[in-house]
Amino acid sequence: MNNYLITTVVFVLVFCVGNCHAQAMEGTKPNVLFIAMDDLNDWIGCMGGHPQTITPNLDRLAQSGVLFTNAHCAAPACNPSRISIFSGIAPNVSGVYANDQVLREVLPDVELLPKTFSKNGYNSTGSGKMLHYIIDAQSWDDYFPKPSSEMPIPETLYPDKRPLSLPRAGPWQYVETDWGALDASDEEFGGDYKVSQWVSEQLAKKHDKPFFLACGIYRPHEPWFVPAKYFEPFPLESIQIPPGYREDDLADLPPEGKRHGPNRYFDHIRKHGEWKHAIQSYLASIHFADAMLGRVLDALDNSEYADNTIVVLWSDHGWHLGEKEHWQKYTAWRACTRIPLMIRVPKNCPGLPEGTKPGICDQPVNLVSLAPTLFDLCGLTANKVHDGPSLTPLLKDAEGNWPHVSVTYLHHPGDYGLSDDRFRYIHYANGDEELYDVEADRYEWTNLAGDPQYADKLAELRAKGPTRFADKPEPSIQSLNKLKWVRLGEDKAPPSRPDGSQFPVFFINETEEPVKLYWIDRQGQPKFYEEIQPTKTARQATRPGAVWQITDLQDKPLGYFKVDDRSAQAIIPAK
């Protein structure tokens, strides 16, 4: 055989081997099933948050992968938490700290997790709430409901008459703070059932390339209405109050901590005797969400993708049900920041060929690490630097060296909570501090910040805290909710009943004439504030329940707006 022929044969062999190897690598790209649950704290069986919870499907997923018992959200509110997950950018870097900020206003060019997967040969699809009441259609290949709707939650059954259980105390109260059992089947309820059905159908399909499949389960987000069968295991007379509740728990908090603690919801709920009913409804909502998860896990187990799909389950933040005299979220205590996080990795993934062994990891981790972790596991190169470390080292060795802390950012820049492997440190922008030994004090009942024995630990954690806090861009006027315009004829505008915190409302004059803005006082009398010229906008500080009347220049009433529970735009329509 001459040298030319030998060279040709060697070239062909090398080419074929290389091509076969590339095809094999392409074939081993793992799929990703990315599951979110909304407002779920540690009230699941494997985390022991409440003794009465029923979560067999969450527990079986935890038992098959790695359960992170010291995982925290990047922010204790849906919008900043979810944006940090999908962008990999922490709130103190992005400037997204609150629910009223708009993703594409603050981060117009950011590439989100599903888009990066699409660019790397994946089909990125999803259903249910993944971002904060938007889909961000540009980031997905497909979505249910349809991406152009930009509403990620399918139609859901609610009672005909609302509120059902908890009277609304005033416009300050979130309208969805309500609960109760529904006489309906899962199918009739819709919502999360439709999400689980659509996701299950995707898992049953034949896919010609790897997929990134997102499943957003909305419960246990308020309102806590689910089919009655999920209430049955929790008889009202047997309901136990949260184990983390203690009546005098605010006594050792600094002033800023006390300000974050008690809120009007908890007092209002107890006043109407609804505390145990609310706990029952939260447990029932978790039970329902767990059942919907079970449908998806069963679909995966019965599919051809069972052995080559990474499964990640997370909650965007926790929830208070009376701990620290607080209801809802928005705090830096563990009841609100600590969340379920489970990751199961099959064998032969590029970033973890051996896959995960079932186990528990107690190291402090954060949801901002999910994007770099997935890119690492799937062998993808991210196009940017992320703010969280990949969790792959802990998936290899849950007890390995981990020099990181986990930080949760509150609504205002400078306020944050920080966890290491044993302690919880809370820092407020005004300098107030809290310190808890969560190994000895799981529910953070004893603030150690003023104890000289812990001065060194306090200084150590203080030094590990963030020092950079991006400014917080305000949302555009156009992105705000619109107040209802009520035209006036012979009737008079009702008196104001202001009740709640102050915020701005923007009055936009779309008429061709100047108009006058009046506040209607508690006695129903108008008080003049200013003239608003055509096409101009007036910013006015106000409170929930305030009534603002619009007149022409001759003081003839044209209509009024009644302020709801948040900042809004009030459009004065052309005649």
Catalytic annotation, residues: 78, 132
- Dihedral angle computed from the Cα positions of residues 94, 97, 103 and 105, in that order, rounded to the nearest 10 degrees: -80
Rounded Cα gap, residues 103 and 94, in angstroms: 10
Query: Quick one: tokens of 232?
Result: 């049955």
How many helices (H) does the chain have, and how many strands (E)?
A: 15, 27
Residue 375: exposure state from Cβ atoms within 10 A (0-12, 13-18, ≥19)? buried
Residue 110 DSSP one-character state: P
DSSP codes joined into one string, 431-484: S-EEEEETTT-TT--S--TT-GGGHHHHHHHHHHS-------PPPPGGGSEEPP
Rounded Cα gap, residues 116 and 119, in angstroms: 5
Query: Quick one: tokens of 440?
Result: 């000895």
Residues whose CB is less than 8 angstroms from the CB of residue 16 and which lie 6 or more positions away in sequence, other chains included: none
Rounded Cα gap, residues 462 and 243, in angstroms: 29
Rounded Cα gap, residues 467 and 95, in angstroms: 14
Assign residue 64 a region: left if phi > 0, alpha if psi is -120 to 50, beta otherwise? alpha
